Amino acid sequence: MNDSKPRVCPVELSGSLDNKIRRWLQNPDKILAPYLKPGIKVIDIGCGPGFFSIEIAKMIGRNGKVYSVDLQEGMLNQIKNKIKGTELEKRIHLIKSDGDNFVIPEKVDFILAFYMIHEVPDKDNLFKMLKNMLNENGRFLVVEPKLFHVSKKEFELTLQKAKQAGFKITNGPKLPFSHSAILD
C-alpha cells in the first residue's frame, strides 16, 4: 500500500494479533531464538498487544530490556495489563510513539519490526532513526506480510530505503506468507 496515511490495526481488532493460530504460524521462540540472548536490549517497534514483546522479555532474561513501542495507547495498555504483577514489568518498557518519532534512552542490540514497516509513511526517517538506536554490532529483523499488503517489489523498495540509511541487508528467516530481511 502506498497511501501517505498509515493504516494500523485498530485496538478493537488486536485479538487477531495475539492468538493460538498466529502462535503456531509465527512462533516467537522459533523466529527470534537465533537473534536473542540473555541480557540484551531490544526494541519491538509496532508491538501491538505484546505478542512478541512478552516472549522476547522471557528470552532475554531478568538483565535484558524490551522497549515496546506503539502508536496506540490502547495496545500499550494491553501489554501493561498482561504483565502487571509479574517479573516482566521490570523488563518491558512501554513507549508511545507520536507517529514520526520516539525516544529510547540507550542503544539496543536488536530491533524487531514485524508486519509494521508498510504502515509507516516516512520510511526514510524511520530507518535513519532506528540505525542511530542500534549498537554497532546490532541486528534488525524486518518481516512484512505478503498477502494483501506488501508485494515483492514494494518489499525491495523498502529494503532500498534501509540500505540508503546505512544498513547492510541479508536474507531473513523463511516464514509463511512473509517477506523478511536482517539489517545490520
Q: Which among 108, 180, 106 is positioned nearest to 141, based on CA atoms?
A: 180
Say yes or no to pLDDT of 1 above 50.
Answer: no
Say if 15 falls within a structural domain: no
Kindly report the CATH number assigned to the domain that includes residue 166.
3.40.50.150
Instruction: Output the 3-class SS for 139-161.
Output: EEEEEEECCCCCCHHHHHHHHHH
Q: What is the pLDDT of residues 141-171, one digit of tens each?
A: 999 999 778 999 999 999 999 999 999 999 9
- 65: helix, coil or strand? strand
Say if 140 falls within a structural domain: yes
Cell digits of residue 88 = 516482566
pLDDT at 4: 42
* Domains contained in the chain, number: 1
Q: What is the pTM of this model?
A: 0.90
Say if 145 falls within a structural domain: yes
Q: Which domain holds residue 115?
A: 25-183
Q: What is the pLDDT of residues 76-107, one digit of tens each?
A: 999 999 999 999 999 999 999 987 789 999 99
Say yes or no to pLDDT of 3 above 50.
Answer: no
Cell digits of residue 113 = 519490526
Say if 58 falls within a structural domain: yes
Q: What is the pLDDT of residues 13-66, one digit of tens each?
A: 555 556 576 666 789 999 999 999 999 999 999 999 999 999 999 999 999 999
